[in-house]
Amino acid sequence: MGLRSDFIWGAATAAIQIEGAGQEGGRSLSNWDVFSEIPGAIKGGDSPLEGVDHYRRMRSDVMLMKELGIRAYRFSISWPRILPQGTGEVNQDGLRFYNELVDTLLEVGITPYVTLYHWDLPYNLHLQGGFLNPAMPSWMENYAKVVVDALSDRVSNWITLNEPQCFLGLAYKDAVHAPGWRLSDREMALAVHNTLLCHGKILHVIRTFAKTKAKVAFVQATPFTSVPVTEKDIEAARDRQFMLSDSFANSGVLYTDAIYRGKYPDEYLSRYQDILPVITDDDMRLISAPLDYFGLNLYGGDFVQRGVDGKPVVVPRIKGYARTALDWDVRPEIMYWTLKFCYERYRVPILVTENGMSGNDWIHVDGHIHDADRIDFLHRYLKCMRSAVDDGVDIRGYFHWSLFDNFEWSLGFAERFGLVFVDYVTGERTIKDSGYWYRDIVKSNGLSL
């Protein structure tokens, strides 16, 4: 069967991971800038303030995208660049940057996919409690309106929020991401509900005010990504895939069930009934308004089988397992199983909004970056994705994570996820072998896989 002729081939980034110019162009501080000042918070003491200098190199970066032949570019808007205080006065220089980015992309035939919230919160809003503050959904609504008013004459593809299990779970519960909090379950349940309301508000703004017909996704990763060992284990893997984590804000299913099924998982409602905030029918209607895509970020995963007690059991890794530089398993089968499980549960066309790996890449003596591991990784993952399509899973697009090596959150600049190598001292870019390989896959619409 193969991929659709209009399959969307792209690459992705996020504002604070690449832009730099943290104190230029009227941008204010974000939660991550301030978090990175805490000793030990970020590996190597790195700070996102300089990013990989994309703000200054925007035009030549778009030319690199053109050279790579990608058809779509997923990037996020920096809230602190648009509304330095989070609300109130709009920073016209910030809007100008994104206007020029969109225009430059369109000039070279690349379709923009805009993420509204990819984890960088204006510090001023963080100081007021961030996602714990009941005003957060209306702050988000106001910010979304500014962006939609400015860009929606040329942008029609939108992502509301990216991976709340990280910006809440890792951030407000596990103290690994900014702001490094360890909140109670009651506070987390409030933050989760406010976050879902933020999603609903953004979606409502796009549907009401977009000047071109909009397509919208919410993006999630599934922390319990599971691959059945044999056919007998398919249901066990599916059960685990949609399991609620004990640290509930880290679960994927909590958000995707609320958004795509209009209901929090029953287990969540019963187990935490005493600490949940007020959840009204109107809230759930706002949260679960129809979306065009189910956005999924896919990286590693586990082999799973049905245990003797009937519960899913993770098969321990064997010695010498294939792993990325970040020690994540190379598990291409997730591109078949997770996509299939999610499509069967939610029945919404899927966009793979992120997939890729961190590698130990360096410039070889001949001046090139021979990242054979990443090529093999992509080859395996994309073939499994194509098998899912052949089995009837409606997959509309694939975005490689990432376009450039960049700031990998609490791991700083220690990891390299890009198709394009970045010299972190000079900022110089070099397309890796995998970038050229991906260009050929895009050109053949996956036929050469």
Q: Nearest CA to 299 among 399, 158, 207, 431?
A: 399
Contact between 297 and ligand NOJ by CB under 6 A: the answer reads yes
Does residue 354 have an active-site annotation? Answer: yes
Integer Cα distance of 442 and 420 in angstroms: 16
The residue (of 302 and 354) whose beta carbon lies closer to ligand NOJ is 354
The residue (of 26 and 164) whose beta carbon lies closer to ligand NOJ is 164
Q: Write down the least CB distance from residue 170 to ligand NOJ, Å.
A: 10
Integer Cα distance of 207 and 319 in angstroms: 51
List phi, psi (to 5°) of 158. Answer: -135, 145
Q: Nearest CA to 439 among 24, 89, 66, 76?
A: 66
The residue (of 17 and 28) whose beta carbon lies closer to ligand NOJ is 17
Among all chains, which residue has been given the structure tokens 């703000």?
Answer: 55
Q: Write down the least CB distance from residue 309 to ligand NOJ, Å.
A: 33
The residue (of 268 and 438) whose beta carbon lies closer to ligand NOJ is 438
Q: Write down the least CB distance from residue 222 to ligand NOJ, Å.
A: 12
Two tokens at 403? 């376009």
Cis omega (within 30 of 0) for bond into 138? no
Q: Write down the least CB distance from residue 119 to ligand NOJ, Å.
A: 7
| Residue selected from 14, 159, 217, 244 as contacting ligand NOJ according to rule CB under 6 A | 14
Residue of 19, 187, 333, 354 marked catalytic: 354
Residue of 163, 187, 333, 415 marked catalytic: 163
Interstrand relation of 111-117 and 72-76 (parallel, antiparallel or unpaired): parallel
Q: Write down the least CB distance from residue 353 to ligand NOJ, Å.
A: 8
> Are 59 and 98 spatial neighbours (Cβ–Cβ below 8 Å)?
no
Q: Read off the amino acid at residue 315.
A: V
The residue (of 224 and 264) whose beta carbon lies closer to ligand NOJ is 224
Q: What angle separates helix 433-443 from helix 372-390, to the nearest 10 degrees?
A: 30
Instruction: Give the count of residues interacting with ligand NOJ (CB under 6 A).
Output: 9
Integer Cα distance of 253 and 245 in angstroms: 9
Q: Nearest CA to 116 among 57, 201, 178, 55?
A: 201
Among positions 338-397, residues that touch ligand NOJ (CB under 6 A) are 354
List phi, psi (to 5°) of 136. Answer: -55, -45
- Could you give the count of Cα atoms lying within 13 Å of 448 in the half-sphere of its Cβ? 10
| Residue selected from 53, 163, 187, 361 as contacting ligand NOJ according to rule CB under 6 A | 163
Cross-strand bridge partners of residue 76: 115
Does residue 163 have an active-site annotation? Answer: yes
Integer Cα distance of 376 and 66 in angstroms: 23
Q: Write the burial class of residue 444 (CB in 10 Å: 0-12 exposed, 13-18 middle, 19+ buried).
A: exposed
Q: Site map for ligand NOJ, 94-123, x if CB under 6 A? A: ------------------------------
Q: Write down the least CB distance from residue 354 to ligand NOJ, Å.
A: 6
Helices (H), 210-321: 234-241, 253-261, 266-271, 281-287
The residue (of 240 and 400) whose beta carbon lies closer to ligand NOJ is 400
The residue (of 19 and 408) whose beta carbon lies closer to ligand NOJ is 408
Q: Write down the least CB distance from residue 231 to ligand NOJ, Å.
A: 31
Report, as residue numbers or ranges, the catalytic residues: 163, 354
Residues of this chain that interact with ligand NOJ (CB under 6 A) are: 14, 17, 162-163, 297, 354, 401, 408, 417
